[in-house]
Each structure stands twice: as structure tokens, then as C-alpha cells.
Amino acid sequence: MSRLGLRRKEPYEAGKAALAKFGLEREKTIRREWRFWVALAVLSLGAAAAVGFTTGTLRVASSFALGVLVTSALFAWEMGGNARNLRFLWGFVGERQTEELLRLLDDSWECVHDIVRGRGKWKSNWDHVLIGPAGVFLLDSKSYSSTSKAKDDALRSGRLICRGSDIRGAAISLKEALEPKVGKQYVNAAIVIWGEFPQKRYEENQVTYLRSDELLGWLSEKPGRLSERERKTVAQAVRDLKEVSETQEVPEQT
């Protein structure tokens, strides 16, 4: 059974890829919708000029219009220029929350976050690779605003779908990447859900779906499989994977 303990504060590692993707998509959206931003800038400058050169009711109205325009611009910027880009920001938040939760595990566990895999526009990442007495776990964080349900080899939240085959494939690719250094090592695949998930725990086709507050309890129930020496060997291999992925990473094609 795993023990819980407090660790010293370290810089956060999770969510960097999601945040970078959010920034990239925001840049693309703003370039694509440049006319909107030019119009917004012109209107804001006009309202600011009116505030400076008018008096009375007209000045009050101009001040109100300027406030609305500036607020709209800030809101549009924060959501990435398009509401669809918010999914990357929510992904960043979910990954950071999972990292914070995993820091409650004791020193027999180690987690490497945000490992890039693939190249160019095809690149993706392993959110969290956790190594501990119970084995190796690939955790994928999801943060949804609406209720989620796991069924038919997928997690659904509104119109959003996370297919079990995706994380199974990711776990297999991680297993294959580790084999040259550690031999055959089973990788457990799990999705950590931040938000409403009434099922709490659900397992199907070698994928476990967990509400965030179930994660640590689920890990503690897993039987021990790896010795301390084996854990250190696997953890080093995972750290090496991250180091190699960072040195070989190439700019994404736009």
C-alpha cells in the first residue's frame, strides 16, 4: 500500500505542452481573424478619443463603450480568440491539478510529466508517467465542465470524446519505448477526470477511468510488483526518454 507524504515544492512540469498548444492556436486564430482585432482596436481608439474630447452624457457613454471594448478584447484574448481553443487551456489546468495530487505520494513513487513524443504536426505527449511499487502507469488528465460518462470504450462529456483506444495505444508506445532499457514492462493506462464523473471508477478494455479524488486510493490498492532497484531503473529510463524528446524536438509546422 502506498503511503502519503509531503514533498518539498518543486517547479511544475505538467501541462507545458497543452499551454504551448493553446498559445499557438491563439496566435493562429488572431492571425486568421485579424480584421476583427483591427476593428476592435479602431473602435477602442475612437472611444478613448471621445472620452478625452467630450463632456457630460456623451463622455459617460464613451467611457462605458471603452470599458466594454477593452473588456471584450481581454476576454477574447484570454480564451484564445475562439471558444474552441479553451480546451487546451482546460487541459493545462487538469494536468497541473493531477501533478499537484501526485505530489502527495511518498518517495517510493516518481512521476515524469509532459513527455513529448512524435515530430512536427504529429507530435503529442504522455501527460504523466508514474513509477512506483505497483508498477508503471500512464495517466492522462481530462478537465471537463460538464458531466462525463465512460461507456463503449470511450469517455464522453457533452460533444467531447476521449477514446480508450488512444490511451491504450499511448501505453503500448511507452512500453515499446522503454523495452530496450528495462525489458518487457506492463504499462497501466488510466484517465484522471477533473469534473463531474458519477461512476467514480470504471474499467474497460485495459483502461481505467478515475474521478480525480479516487486516484490515490486506487493506486494504494494495487499490489507491489517492482523492487526499489527496478523502480529506479525504470524511472531513469523514463527520464532519459524525456531528455531525448526535448533535445530532438523540432518546431511544429504551421
- DSSP of 128-153: EEEEETTEEEEEEEEE-SS--EE-SS
State whether 123 and 235 are in the same domain: yes
* Locus of grid cell 517547479: 11
State whether 146 and 183 are in the same domain: yes
State whether 40 and 112 are in the same domain: no
State whether 74 and 148 are in the same domain: no
Q: Grid coordinates representing 106?
A: 511518498
Contact 116, 129 (CB under 8 A): no
Q: How are the residues of the chain apportioned to helix, strand and coil, as percentages rounded to the nearest 5?
A: 50, 20, 25
The total of structural domains in the chain comes to 2
Domain containing residue 131: 91-248
Helices (H) and strands (E) in the chain, counts: 7, 9
State whether 101 and 68 are in the same domain: no
Report if pTM > 0.85. Answer: no
pLDDT tens by residue, the chain, 254 residues: 344 444 445 665 665 555 555 555 566 666 666 565 566 677 667 767 776 667 777 766 767 666 765 665 555 555 555 555 455 555 577 788 899 999 999 989 999 998 887 654 445 788 899 999 999 999 999 988 889 999 999 999 988 899 999 999 999 999 999 999 998 899 999 999 999 999 999 999 999 999 999 999 999 999 988 999 999 999 999 999 988 877 765 444 33
Q: What is the DSSP letter of 254?
A: -
Residue 22: its pLDDT value, please? Answer: 54
CB-based burial label for 43 (10 Å; 0-12, 13-18, 19+): middle
Asked if the structure places residue 113 within a domain, the reply is: yes
State whether 173 and 66 are in the same domain: no
Residue 124: its pLDDT value, please? Answer: 77
Asked if the structure places residue 100 within a domain, the reply is: yes
State whether 138 and 164 are in the same domain: yes
Residue 5: its pLDDT value, please? Answer: 43
Length of the chain: 254
Phi, psi dihedrals of residue 210, rounded to the nearest 5°: -130, 130
What's the CA gap between 188 and 215, in Å, rounded? 13
Residue 174: its pLDDT value, please? Answer: 94
Residue 229: its pLDDT value, please? Answer: 93
What's the CA gap between 197 and 11, in Å, rounded? 29
